[in-house]
Structure 1
């Protein structure tokens, strides 16, 4: 039942669903009032369980699309400073963080200047990112979470509730009810609920979703320390170092720079449950630093230590009606240098625009189903690639005995994982997505395959400003990009009404969803007058030769999940 409101004080004096008092409904009422005032459908907020990087990213991404959310944080709302707990973000996810937090990524972490991989004393591969570009960003996870929390504090459409542990989820056709216990335990009402609550996800367990996979695929001893190494701001992968190790042999060491002269060092541990004692870890630090500097151990300050255990698991389902899973609640990966947080942030980016469209316009089952179809397929492929490579790289038999390979080839696989390339690390393309259009007569190839993330070219926006393409993402609108050489040297007013622009503008206006028309002088592999249709999360829908209104409309409709079913249930879902 809707809340009653005291007209004189504005305080909520109400019951919730005829079951229990619900103090949080005043917050829901505020959201409803804001939505109604802006002409939006009256819908309950999205409930996000978990206030780690993935949950906070999803809340911010929804707020940028005018969707309110409640974030239920089991903890006190603060994150422990742990320099031994870091993340590597690649170009697309680093750009997402900069867009949502408003903080330049260089203030969050360090872009690697280069990458070097060694085997014994031999340099196997070097990458100079000043020439190659696409430098990974390495940062402490608590720094990332802090930046997200700071941005979230400015968002009136997001409410962060601390000390709230979920214990009940109830679903019905029009929404979700969740109960939390703790000092602020109460009932919460939402339109959808997303579990971003980690590997031991309560949401996943309450929905009885299986989480099969492998435990302790890899274990690493980790140390964060401040010291000077012979290579500034360059990451290093050293396999089979020539010096003798203390205790069990550490066959692989990774060094990755952080701001202010801090480094994270990882030693791959042999299989088993051997404890990593402080004495053994200090011995590894001293021995490794001495080996890299060619003499005695240089001065260093040990700041943090830990053991990082990698599991490989994949939830059977990522959607159960109005409940979704994202991040570590849906998948665990991280062997061979791959980054689970990267994939979790991509989960949030993929899900946000689909939930936003459903929140504003009513449920669209095909669009919401596509979240699992797209993201689970990508992560499953990543896990398969890692599981196939592990026996080859770790000497466990299997593939190693039947597949020819060289040390350089093995190094290439590891480099792919660490640098976010190839099947182990590259951002996935949704080529087989149910949202991918088929058989468009005017489709032409460009260097970006359909379903892959678009290149970040400079574009002219509708207001005449010059911006990067990625800056226009995440607003809930489709992007239509015209490749028109020469437009960059003229003011927009001189060409906006010339040539094919009026016809293209009319086609964009007629699309089944709001879209922004952008113009670029060039795009990799695209001929002049190519028209690209881009999803709100930056993945290419299609590229067309010239203005083809019918193809453009058909592609846009498919990218939105096809024609929405106009049923009574859809029309009323989530509303009051």
Structure 2
């Protein structure tokens, strides 16, 4: 079986390659550039709790521990001189992770350097693509230009995606929805570690809106909302904005600061018509652009990678199945479309000077709450997508029980007992290629596993899990938010809840698991690599490790 080809070596492409490697799928990453990242502190990413956990699993360490990563202590929303909303982060409300994008990309590159199932080809720009019944062939130009053979291909090559153009996929939307002047600087502000949104600041020359997001080491990223058109941001004008903003926040003269980086960030809203054409897919900025009102495009791109990785892996190992692969577009495109729709509906109200805005009771506080949700990952602008209407959703069952997580939404990160008896966080068991079955059994934490693993309903549940149509791991939780005792949760490899059942229901559990993996494999599709050794052979045979394999990939004319 040929490796998966990932086009683009940004955070989404690198994360997808690493996620596929966790599923024992070999990958070739075609990097148009030289394999290095330019440090830019004015180009940062805000990752929600689940996407931060996803990339930290892939990189093998916590980004919050890095010099340039930071988790906010709280969020403050101001309007003129009035505090409109304050949020504190903690165990019940985890803080977003804010870090420079080059730090994230560098950490993923470092992880890939030690991953034998991922090969990176630098200075390799794709310029042609051909598909057939068993795979694809891509050609790259440049010093290392050649032909590459793959089982599947994913275009993670940005907003000007060559893969999207080669697939003739339209990319409609709106240009320059918002513009922001951006500065990264080191200084001391009255709110260390606290992010803030200040609308209509009272000082002379203040922008309509300014956002301050802390990084580690006393560094801040400041964003000033600019008029949609016009207003050239000169260096002098930006320095004036910095001085006035810092003085206004500190209530006196401008405090000392060190300007580290600047830029202008223009937000576009676009959504590709299709995310799959045969064996080729789009992900990240190649598939969607968003970012107005505090939403984060990179966060959504990483969700694309998490969603697609386990589906490609299942098809690679166990046979091609269209319902499973089609579900990637159905789930992810619908989720991003809903977020774009929410932003487009909110923009006229939040940014308009008159009209509807002046007739909405309590509009100022409601507007600040809506913007806060977008920035901290809540509400229609910020919360993770739910796949309740997914084609992979099982049929309704009378055995279902309500828990604190809606079906299709990401599960809570509770502590569980692993099969070896160790205590781990639930998210640590994600992304390993199997389904998760979690039994909620209060009281088990006070007993050693050997005392209860063969008692009560455990033997029957273990037998039901063994009989599932796809490998699954049985975990036990002392509790789960909103779940009655003896609830059984079925969870996808990307952490989304498939169903929650009341007690051990082998038939219903089997049906839900079969639906979650897209049903049976297509007849005659065969199997791909079944283990890491075969995956490594596929990389050597079809990718950077074998000149003969590369030459053989060239299609006959």
Contact 1:175 1:573 in 2 (8 A): no
Q: Indicate the larger mover: 45-54 or 398-407.
A: 398-407
SS of corresponding position for 1:351 = helix
Cα pair distance change 1:557/1:189, threshold 3 Å:
same
Asked if the contact 2:78–2:84 (Cα under 8 Å) also holds between the matched residues in 1, the reply is: yes
Separation in structure 1 between the aligned mates of residue 90 and residue 423 of structure 2, nearest angstrom: 24
Aligned CA distance change for structure 1 residues 402 and 532 (closer, same or farther; 3 Å): same
Worse-superposed segment, 484-493 or 125-134: 125-134
For the residues of structure 2 that align with 1:131 and 1:444, how far apart are their CA atoms? 26
* Paired position in structure 2 for 1:193: 153
Q: Secondary structure of the equivalent of 1:317? A: coil
Aligned to 1:47: 5
Q: Which residue of 2 aligns with 1:560?
A: 517
83, 87, 91: which one aligns with 1:127: 87
2:178 corresponds to which residue? 218
Of 62, 67, 77, the residue aligned with 2:35 is: 77
- Does the Cα contact within 8 Å between 2:210 and 2:223 map onto a contact in 1? yes
Cross-structure match for 1:163: 123
CA contact (8 A) 2:469 2:514 kept: yes
Structure 2: distance between partners of 1:401 and 1:314: 31
* Cα deviation, residue 128, structure 1: 1.2
Aligned match of 1:409 = 366
Q: C-alpha deviations, 1:120-153, integer Å up to 9, x for none?
A: 0000001111375210111000000011001111
Offset at residue 207 of structure 1 (A): 0.2
How far off is 1:395 after superposition?
1.0
Alignment correspondent of 2:70: 110
Aligned to 2:300, the other structure's residue is in SS state helix
Which of 203, 218, 228 lines up with 1:261 in the alignment?
218
Aligned partners of 1:421 and 1:148: how far apart in 2? Answer: 27
How far the C-alpha of 1:274 sits from its partner, in A, is 2.6
Q: 1:131 to 1:492 in 2, by over 3 A?
A: closer
1:174, 1:572 within 8 Å by CA — same for their partners in 2? no
Per-residue CA deviations over 1:82-125 (Å, capped at 9, x if unaligned) read 00000001100111111110111312410000100100000000
Partner of 1:270: 227
User: For 1:184, which of 141, 144, 147 is the aligned residue?
Assistant: 144
1:319 to 276, 292, 300: 276
Name 1:484's counterpart in structure 2. Answer: 441
The 1:229/1:180 distance shift into structure 2, 3 A limit, reads same
Give yes or no for the alignment of 1:353 onto 2:310: yes
Deviation at 1:398, TM superposition (A): 6.3
Aligned to 2:551: none
State the 1:449 CA deviation: 0.6
Question: TM (normalized to structure 1)?
Answer: 0.90
Deviation of 1:49 after TM superposition, in Å, equals 0.3
Q: What does the per-residue CA deviation read over 1:381-408, in whole Å, with 9 as the maximum and x for residues that have no partner?
A: 0000000000000016665366555100
Hey, what's the Cα distance between the residues in 2 that align with 1:283 and 1:167? Answer: 45
Number of residue equivalences: 529
Distance 2:167 2:358 in 1: 42
Greater relative contact order, per chain length (Cα 8 Å cut-off, separation 6+):
2
Corresponding residue for residue 56 of structure 2: 98
Find the counterpart in structure 2 of residue 336 from structure 1.
293
TM-score w.r.t. structure 2 length? 0.93
Are 1:451 and 2:408 matched, yes or no?
Answer: yes
Matches of 1:399 and 1:318, distance apart in 2: 36
Name 2:419's counterpart in structure 1: 462
Is the 1:250–1:270 Cα contact (8 Å) retained in structure 2?
Answer: no
- Listed one character per residue, the Cα deviations across residues 208-239 of structure 1 (whole Å, up to 9, x for unaligned) are 00000000000000000000000000001000
Q: Which moved more, 1:309-318 or 1:108-117?
A: 108-117
* Separation (CA, whole Å) in 2 of partners of 1:365 and 1:401: 50
Instruction: Give runs of ≥4 in structure 1 deviating > 4 Å.
Output: 396-399, 401-405, 572-576
Instruction: Measure the CA separation in 2 of the matches of 1:170 and 1:553.
Output: 38
Asked if 2 retains the 8 angstrom alpha-carbon contact of 1:388 and 1:399, the reply is: no
Cα gap change, 1:572 to 1:359, in 2 (>3 Å): closer
Is the 1:485–1:520 Cα contact (8 Å) retained in structure 2?
yes
CA contact 2:319–2:522 (8 Å) conserved in 1? no
1:234 corresponds to 2:194: yes
Q: Whole-Å Cα distance in 1 between the matches of residues 286 and 230 of structure 2?
A: 25
3-state SS, counterpart of residue 130 of structure 1: coil
Is the CA contact (8 Å cut-off) linking 1:240 and 1:252 kept in structure 2?
yes
Contact 2:318 2:528 in 1 (8 A): no
Contact 2:317–2:527 (CA<8 Å) still a contact in 1? no
1:62 aligns with 2:20: yes
* RMSD, aligned CA: 1.4
> What is the CA distance between 1:439 and its match in structure 2?
2.0
Cα drift, residue 563 of structure 1: 2.6
| Per-residue deviation, 1:197 | 0.4
Question: What residue is the counterpart of 1:373 in the other structure?
Answer: 330
Runs of 5+ unmatched residues, structure 2 = 530-537, 542-557
Mapped partners of 2:212, 2:442: distance in 1: 44
Structure 2 distance, partners of 1:454, 1:325, is 26
- Separation (CA, whole Å) in 2 of partners of 1:331 and 1:400: 29
SS at match of 1:139: strand
